[in-house]
Amino acid sequence: MAETAVSFALGEVFQFLKEETNLLTGIHKDFSDIKDELESIQVFLKDADRRAADEAETNDGIRTWVKQLREVSFRIEDVIDEYLRLIHRTDPPRFRTLSCQFVE
């Protein structure tokens, strides 16, 4: 009877770990893609700033769009910073909590 319970618990833990690994792998790839896009945005903004300094008359619509794009890029950076803060926090991993539930 105990062997069945342990086998079941191990199966659940392994399934949980597999799902967590897949989830984390996907998140890391998504953040890598976002980082690449953010770098492209930053290059564009540098170029837009340079052109705006060179040209006395810059379209107000373009200025507004560049301002909005800059604000979005700052928000993206904030999200990335928050994500990095969360994955490096010192809380115990969720699987420890799950394994404690099986022991009880």
Ranges of residues in the chain whose predicted pLDDT is under 70 = 1-2, 5-6, 56-58, 90-104
Q: How far is Cα of residue 44 from the mean position of the Cα atoms in its chain?
A: 22
Note the pTM of the prediction, 2 decimals: 0.53
Report pLDDT for 62: 79
Report pLDDT for 60: 78
Report pLDDT for 64: 84
